Amino acid sequence: MTNEHAIGMRADERGHLTSDISRNYLSPAVLERLRRRIALADPHRKTAPVLAPFTGGVIGTIPVGVPADVDEAIRRARQAQPGWAARRPSSRGAVLVRFHDLLLDRREEALDLIQLESGKARRHALEEILDTALVARHYGFRAAKYLRVRRRAGALPGLTMTREYRQPVGVVGIISPWNFPLILGITDALAALAAGNAVVLRPDEQGSLTALWAVDLLYEAGLPSDVLQVVTGPGPELGPPLIEGADFIMFTGSTRTGRIVARQAAERLRGYSLELGGKNPMLVLEDADLEAAVDGAVRGAFVGAGQVCVSIERLYVHDALFDRFAKRLVERVREMKLSPAFDYDADMGSLTVPRQLDTVESHVRDAVEKGAHLLVGGRRRPDIGPLFYEPTVFTGVTPEMKMFAEETFGPVVALYRVASDEEAIARANDTRYGLNASVWSRSVRHAVRVAKQIQTGTVNVNESYGATWTATSAPIGGMKESGSGRRHGAEGILKYTESQTIAIQRGLPLAPPPFIPVRVYASLMPRLLRLMRHIPGLR
């Protein structure tokens, strides 16, 4: 594996970044403008540093919020929401479309900031820009269709006029993680805003600057004042009051924390949507294109240094291809370039937070000690940066090893030999998770037959994760312990609404009319219903 040192970035004697990027995009004036987007009950809050994974240097600081700040944010959002909801969906969508255009125009700023804050390679930061733009465009243009009033049949056609309306839930609370500071900090907010809600966002501390930059861009695109509020600070302190005060909660993170969020929301009888952990399998069938499948495995396992909810952690390869696949995969991984550079040459960047490096090292050490075979990688790389870790491939991972069933969430993948489709399917499903999967075959019919038997919310055929993720009109989400609810498509916006049925009765009442005896009515109505079941338009 090769590496490059950071381009245009250095640290002074205090460890503060002094690159052109820091001066241009994260100057004190810019940081102050971003801080003004943070809801504070008391502006004199203590601050916490945001560190650059590439160097460990300080990028900037954010206020450390307290529960009173969450209450203030919800108050402001609730006050602003009715005016925003009163706009036509097409008017709200126009703000998202302008945001789409601004994001693409200012993409270099966003790319630099995402890299600074997450440590990912630029090619992986670009995926955040493109996906966020796709979601903004989709809901910007399609929200009105999803939210339109729908006619529904009444019990007695012609006498009952029934309409289904979609009303915003009110204030949506979003708790987002550090691994995708733009996508997960903003795209859920876009759908909620398009539905007419106000939003209070609590981004992870390590993703707060990117989220604030994007929020500022939304206001530049025309979002009215206070419709989107941000509170920064630690999740354990800010999460409970946000769940307590919001009308709906969207949470992305670990399954362990997701259970806590679900319990707290359920206690208040509030709706929630959760995207949680994954132990995602990739199945390479006997008739797969070997080189294409290897390429898909490299991208799927090591995108974002493996810190992606839908990335691949388990590779099931048919016996007929296994030896050639393993050899070629190791060759490709050894060729990967690790670098903190702000260019597109790096194949993989850094891990984002020290605790994730600790988890990766723990899983690798446990596997080696219990007899797994390390094919490539397995080392941290402090010579490149404090949180760099080599892309790693194992065989011989067995059930007593942490890596076998627990989510590693790092650049580590386990390779398994299988004798048949049936074995691959069974082993892919042998997990408590059910988020994403990938199937590779030269025959689409063959691949789809296998895909339909895998217990995950999304399955990509001849792709690792991107085909389903970027299909913004189709829902994505998890089965089993990988979550509840869906992003994207109709489900991704309608979950932020309440359905309301309004029916207008005309002419005869839905009760015995005064001129018909009740006994006669009781005899006539069953006959009428029997007749109606034979008329297709009245069923």
Known catalytic residues are 275, 309
Is 228 in contact with 193 (CB distance < 8 Å)?
yes
DSSP state for residue 6 in the 8-state scheme: P
Q: What CA–CA distance (Å, rounded) separates 331 from 459?
A: 27
Antiparallel, parallel or unpaired: β 248-252 and 171-176: parallel
Cα gap 448→470, rounded to integer Å: 19
- Three-state secondary structure of 173-218: EEEECCCCCCHHHHHHHHHHHHCCCEEEEEECHHHHHHHHHHHHHH
Q: How far apart are CA 23 and CA 30, in angstroms?
A: 9
Q: Of the candidates 426, 391, 434, 385, which has an alpha carbon nearest to the alpha carbon of residue 410?
A: 391
**Which of 414, 452, 447, 454 is CA-nearest to residue 430?**
454
Q: Judge contact between 434 and 486, C-beta under 8 A.
A: no
Query: Residue 259: which of 472, 488, 432 has the closest Cα?
Result: 432
- CB contact at 8 A, 397 and 404: yes
Which residues neighbour 365 within 8 Å (Cβ) at sequence distance 6 or greater?
none
On whether the CB atoms of residues 190 and 221 are closer than 8 A, the answer is no
